[in-house]
Amino acid sequence: MLNLAVILRESAASRPDAPALLSDGGMMTYAQLDARSDEVAAGLAAAGITPGERVALQLPNIPEFPVAYFGILKAGAVVVPLNVLLRAPEISYQLADSGARMLIAWAGLFDDAAKGAADAGVTAVYSVGETATARPFAELRAPVTGPRPPADRQPGDVAAIVYTSGTTGRPKGAELTNFQLYMNADIPGRMFEIKPEDVILTVLPLFHVYGMSSAMNLGLRFGAALSLVPRFTAGKVLATIERDRATIFDGVPSMFGALLAHPEFGRYDTSSLRVCISGGDAIAARVLDAFEKRFSVPILEGYGMTETASTITFNQGPDRRRAYSVGTPVWGVEVQVWDEQGRRLPPGRGHVGELVTRGYHTMRGYHGQTAATEEAMTGGWFHTGDLGYVDTDGYFFIVDRKKELIIRGGYNVYPREIEEVLYRHPDIVEAAVVGVPDERLGQEVKAFVVTRTGSTLSAEEVISYCREQVAAYKYPRLVEFRAELPLSGAGKVLKKSLV
């Protein structure tokens, strides 16, 4: 028997009075989190939720998220975390596709949640915060006497269905098992050397697999405290690091860039930080170097996906990292680079191919989509859709998304390579490169850039700058300036929206 909720129960037993959650509303101990999630589990059972049934959870990073999350797990049900920014049709699709019987949603964005639930035929809707049309979340907590034993679950049973971002079509629900999620908390936590005294700045959305697995599950597995920030702003994160004496900051590249650009970063005491972890997308070399210099803390880059419950590779400590790489495979995980014929490529920058992986970390499959699962898991290996290479020491480097590769006049152009060039320009704060249709060449290279306040940089200057640094077929012929780039809930640039 293995119910993922054991990670909370064990930490609560060993450190009942230690802080589990820190937020603007105060502190919640491990004993309190364990007891409140027991009450939710009892309430779910009283409401008729049985093991294996799905319960959707649409909340920001507030204490009620882990309370509900572990309550659902303890009841033996399956958590279906939903992005809080989804609109009604998207909510309806994911509720119907997952077969969710209940939705626990946030009052702050409740109109879409209510409509989506109604359209999907979900009538059991609870609200965190006051609404006129839903039962309050507090009603779902039933009194219990002493610790409530979690429902029996098998290691291979699904614990969560997490939807992909849908960058190449409708989102698919990745079925993540109890064992997979447990191992993805335990193994990376040991590599990060997480200690009970650590405080993890948790601004990554908990509804996203990165925040759920690599921040919440990992931190609670090792008895650390989660410092919850519901929404990223650079000033709020800096102030929270100072207030809670955060030691670990999990982020995505756009967050590190925003912290660097904050005009008053020097007024905040961030000396408590011992390590930062970057994932979700490739971090520009200039951003990494500048952040480490300014904040005097290393950034360890890793790589993972929704389908792998987060971690595939990681730079395993400041003394074992290789800057600009995504590190080496974590324990128990295999990664190879294949060409289009499914042949393994040798090490070297000249041998770029698709990264494939297998091990305990891979999903059970896409919920209800056998054909998509078989396509993704060809030959027993999960095909990531990411292009990269491995060096002779076993460190992996991501070049780009396979589906974002630009083929201009028969030549391959990797957007990330051009983005790295753009980020080196002193006036450019953010950049994204995409391929747009072109009658003559098939695709043309287009750059979207965000410049520093007061910059007079022109499109012609951007093009000229790039032309001096990359081959003629690579540099962008089209440049569009934006006040900001569209980001997903996890802070990743939404290139599909730009195209």
Last residue of a domain, one of 191, 213, 237: 191
pLDDT tens readout for residues 325-346:
999 999 999 999 999 999 999 9
- For residue 2, the model assigns a pLDDT of 92
Indicate whether 125 belongs to any domain.
yes
pLDDT tens readout for residues 430-463:
999 999 988 778 789 999 999 999 999 999 999 9
β-strand pairing of 158-163 with 173-177 = antiparallel
Indicate whether 136 belongs to any domain.
yes
CATH number for 97: 3.40.50.980
Q: What is the pTM of this model?
A: 0.86
Indicate whether 171 belongs to any domain.
yes
> CA–CA separation, 481 vs 460, rounded Å?
12
From 207, 252, 244, 210, select the one nearest 227 (Cα to Cα).
244
Residue environment code for 139-157, b if the CB has 16+ CB neighbours within 10 A, otherwise e: ebbbeeeeebebbebebeb
| Three-state secondary structure of 393-416 | CCCEEEEEEHHHCEEECCEEECHH
Angle at 94 between CA 91 and CA 97, to 5 degrees: 145
Indicate whether 261 belongs to any domain.
no
Q: Which two tokens stand for residue 149?
A: 């034993």
pLDDT tens readout for residues 67-105:
999 999 999 999 999 989 888 998 999 999 999 999 999
Question: 87 Cβ partners below 8 Å, 6+ apart?
Answer: 112, 116
For 354-457, where are the alpha helices, taking DSSP H only? 370-376, 415-423
pLDDT of 56 > 90? The answer is yes
The most confident of the ranges 39-53, 153-167, 409-423 is 39-53
Q: Please report the DSSP string for 8-36 in residue order.
A: HHHHHHH-TTSEEEEETTEEEEHHHHHHH
Indicate whether 186 belongs to any domain.
yes
From 94, 95, 88, 145, select the one nearest 124 (Cα to Cα).
95
> CA–CA separation, 110 vs 95, rounded Å?
15
Q: Name the domain count of the chain.
A: 2
pLDDT of 164 > 60? The answer is yes
Residue 483 is part of which domain span?
A: 405-498
> CA–CA separation, 259 vs 238, rounded Å?
8
Indicate whether 293 belongs to any domain.
no
> CA–CA separation, 33 vs 52, rounded Å?
23
- For residue 112, the model assigns a pLDDT of 92
Indicate whether 44 belongs to any domain.
yes
- Identify each DSSP E strand in 330-488 by its residue range: 333-338, 353-359, 365-366, 382-390, 396-401, 406-408, 411-413, 428-438, 442-451, 478-481
Q: Which two tokens stand for residue 46?
A: 């009283």
CB 127 within 8 A of CB 105: yes
pLDDT of 167 > 60? The answer is no
Indicate whether 301 belongs to any domain.
no
Instruction: Please indicate whether residue 132 or residue 26 has the higher confidence score (pLDDT).
Output: 26
Residue 92: phi and psi, rounded to 5, are -60, -45
> CA–CA separation, 340 vs 100, rounded Å?
38
**Residue 29 neighbours by CB distance under 10 Å:** 17
Last residue of a domain, one of 134, 159, 191: 191
Last residue of a domain, one of 191, 214, 233: 191
pLDDT of 411 > 80? The answer is no
CATH number for 459: 3.30.300.30
DSSP letter for 51, please: T
